[in-house]
């Protein structure tokens, strides 16, 4: 989805302020064997492949760009309307619209690498085999930092059941990606909160070879127009994101960190400020993705990054890594 922020005035970013903030603060983090100079990444689907955001800041100023989830073939997406505002959030029903892997590798990846961005490629599929095909294509691409495996997709081989909601299907996808991708690039598996026990799914994908987890994806929701008496979204249902889901993200991250203390976690869900980010970090997130906030302010990720550094320093931290999982101590 290409996003154009018409009429948005970006705040003036002052590099010297950032340099002062990190002069005596180590903001580096890692997800598996992928290292990042700071822990703030874009969220898949909220900035396409970064071209829109590059109008407001240099992409190498953030931890990484997580691309929109890509599939083997081009997709036109779901019927319109595709977005609807909700209290403290929004619903989207984009439907993984995208150019397909061929155009993506030919156009988007070279552009991102030319800009000096660290690149996490998000992949999605309708079958276990499709995930494997995508992983094999990425195996030979130089310059990538990691692969995000978005398993919140319907499995056409299992009557449309979502991979992320079935332990066996989730495990099968990750095993296939691990075999097809090899062992060099870390695999970060994006989990759905629409399950009874997210730690059960987490355990399955970890055992299957995941190097990290992304928590959480959107929640399935619906809004109805009370005048037309019909769903507002063309696809009827959509993914709920924004501040409304942050407490769910904090809970999920906390639960997974408690059960799997060593697994790296990319936290996301309703982060709009440094204070929001601290909640996810203290719950156990090793890094943070910023998504929906960029629709209202394309520089949100920079602002949250700076606020988080300041807040951590005020709390006596000199290394970001020391703050991870603080809510589990004592």
Residues taking part in catalysis = 153
Quote the distance between the C-alpha of residue 308 and its chain's center. 18
**Which residues, at least 6 apart from 140, have a Cβ–Cβ distance to it below 8 Å?**
none
Quote the distance between the C-alpha of residue 149 and its chain's center. 10
Backbone angles phi, psi at 191, to 5 degrees: -100, 150
Q: Which two tokens stand for residue 51?
A: 């071209």
Q: Which two tokens stand for residue 119?
A: 């690149």
Backbone angles phi, psi at 132, to 5 degrees: -65, -40
**Do residues 188 and 31 lie in contact, with contact meaning Cβ atoms separated by under 8 Å?**
yes
Backbone angles phi, psi at 147, to 5 degrees: -125, 125
**Do residues 309 and 22 lie in contact, with contact meaning Cβ atoms separated by under 8 Å?**
yes
Q: Which residues pair with 162 in a beta bridge?
A: 154
Alpha helices in the chain (DSSP H): 15-22, 101-103, 109-114, 128-139, 167-181, 198-208, 246-259, 274-283, 293-296, 300-314
Q: Which two tokens stand for residue 97?
A: 């619209």
Which DSSP string do the residues of 191-231 spell out, in sequence order? PPS-SS-HHHHHHHHHHHT-SEEEE--PEEE--EETTTTEE
């Amino acid at each position: 989805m290409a996003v154009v922020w018409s009429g948005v005035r970006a705040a003036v970013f002052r590099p010297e302020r950032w340099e002062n903030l990190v002069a005596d603060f180590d903001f580096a983090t890692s997800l598996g064997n992928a290292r990042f100079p700071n822990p703030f990444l874009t969220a898949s689907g909220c900035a396409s492949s970064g071209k829109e955001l590059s109008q407001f800041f240099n992409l190498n100023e953030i931890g990484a760009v997580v691309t929109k989830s890509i599939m083997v073939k081009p997709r036109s997406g779901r019927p319109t309307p595709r977005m609807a505002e909700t209290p403290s959030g929004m619903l989207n029903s984009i439907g993984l619209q995208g150019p397909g892997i061929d155009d993506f590798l030919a156009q988007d990846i070279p552009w991102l690498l030319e800009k000096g961005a660290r690149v996490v490629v998000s992949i999605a599929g309708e079958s276990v085999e499709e995930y494997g095909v995508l992983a094999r294509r990425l195996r030979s691409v130089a310059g990538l930092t990691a692969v995000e495996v978005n398993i919140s997709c319907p499995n056409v081989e299992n009557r449309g059941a979502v991979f992320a909601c079935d332990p066996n299907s989730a495990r099968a996808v990750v095993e296939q990606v691990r075999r097809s991708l090899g062992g060099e690039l870390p695999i970060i598996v994006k989990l759905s909160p629409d399950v009874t026990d997210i730690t059960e799914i987490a355990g399955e994908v970890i055992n299957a070879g995941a190097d990290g987890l992304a928590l959480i994806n959107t929640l399935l929701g619906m809004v109805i127009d009370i005048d037309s008496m019909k769903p507002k979204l063309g696809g009827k249902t959509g993914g709920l994101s924004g501040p409304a889901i942050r407490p769910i993200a904090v809970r999920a991250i906390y639960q997974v960190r408690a059960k799997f203390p060593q697994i790296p976690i990319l936290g996301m869900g309703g982060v709009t400020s440094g204070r929001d980010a601290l909640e996810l970090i203290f719950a156990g997130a090793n890094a943070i993705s910023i998504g929906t906030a960029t629709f209202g302010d394309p520089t949100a990720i920079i602002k949250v990054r700076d606020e988080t550094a300041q807040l951590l320093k005020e709390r006596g931290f000199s290394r970001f890594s020391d703050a991870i999982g603080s809510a589990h101590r004592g």
